[in-house]
Amino acid sequence: MTTGFRHYTSFRVRFAEIDGQLVVFNSRYLEYADNVLTEFMRAIEVPVSGPHAFEMQVVQATVHYKRGLRFDDEVEGWLRVERVGRSSAIFEIEFRLKGSEECCASVTLAYVHVDLATEKSQEIPAAVRSRMLGERDCGSG
Asked if 53 and 38 count as a contact pair (C-beta separation under 8 A), the reply is no
Per CATH, is 7-133 categorized as 3.10.129.10? yes
Q: How far apart are CA 133 and CA 83, in angstroms?
A: 8
Domain boundaries, the chain: 7-133
Total residues belonging to the chain: 141
pLDDT in the model for residue 6 = 87
What is the overall mean pLDDT for the chain? 93
pLDDT digits (tens, 9 = 90+) for 23-43: 999 999 999 999 999 999 999
Half-sphere exposure of 133 (CA within 13 A, CB side): 16
Rounded Cα gap, residues 3 and 1, in angstroms: 6
**Are the beta carbons of 29 and 117 closer than 8 angstroms?**
no
